[in-house]
Amino acid sequence: MKRAIIIHAWESSPEEHWYLEEKKLLEDKGYKVDLPVMPGGRWPKLDEWLKVIGGLKPDENTIVIGHSLGPAAILRYLESPNRKVGKAFFIAAFAADLGIEETSNFFQKPFDWETINKNLSEVYVINEKHDPYVPIERGKEIADATGGEFILVEGNIHFDKMDLDLINSRL
């Protein structure tokens, strides 16, 4: 069975942004889609997010989609050996501390790109040219570290809304 997991942004929920629309589009294509509520609210804890992702048991046939803090959590999950996933879509992605105290526990050590790359097959990093929260360079760093495709778009303001064809045309 085709599977997808969507990990929402910090201080968000599955009902916000474009998540439910993408879930429905994927389900219409035959995917089983998990869109969990990520714990912690304003003060998320990496270990709690990793527990949620691990509990969903992604595998090499699973597409993972993360928005904002979601990509960092997915990348941390992929730092353990034998945690392979299929395609990864990282939206408004960053893998460096942005100076936000509430999320700094996600970035206390460098990412293990060697292990992450062994667990990823295809990566798409989609960032917005004028994102007020995430500098373009943060997304480029992930694309460079993973050999992923970097996609730069305009007019999405941290992807509160987005052209879902950026994901769906690459499935």
pLDDT tens sequence across 72-97: 999 999 999 999 999 999 999 999 99
Mean pLDDT (10-residue bins), the chain, 171 residues: 95 92 96 97 96 97 97 98 95 95 96 97 95 94 98 83 89 91
Mean pLDDT of all residues in the chain?
95
Could you tell me the sign of the dihedral formed by the alpha carbons of 160, 47, 86, 5, in that order? negative
Spatial distance between the Cα atoms of 171 and 137, rounded to a whole number of angstroms: 25
Element containing residue 7 per DSSP (H, E): strand 3-7
What's the pTM?
0.95
Question: Whole-angstrom distance between the N-terminal and C-terminal Cα of the chain?
Answer: 14
pLDDT confidence of residue 70: 97
Domains, the chain, ordered by start: 3-168 (3.40.50.1820)
pLDDT confidence of residue 157: 75
Spatial distance between the Cα atoms of 50 and 69, rounded to a whole number of angstroms: 12
Spatial distance between the Cα atoms of 117 and 96, rounded to a whole number of angstroms: 17
Q: In 3-state terms, what secondary structure has residue 96?
A: coil
Could you tell me the sign of the dihedral formed by the alpha carbons of 23, 26, 28, 31, in that order? negative
pLDDT confidence of residue 129: 92
φ, ψ of residue 67 to 5 degrees: the values are -120, 130
| CB contact at 8 A, 10 and 65 | no
pLDDT tens sequence across 122-139: 999 999 999 999 999 999
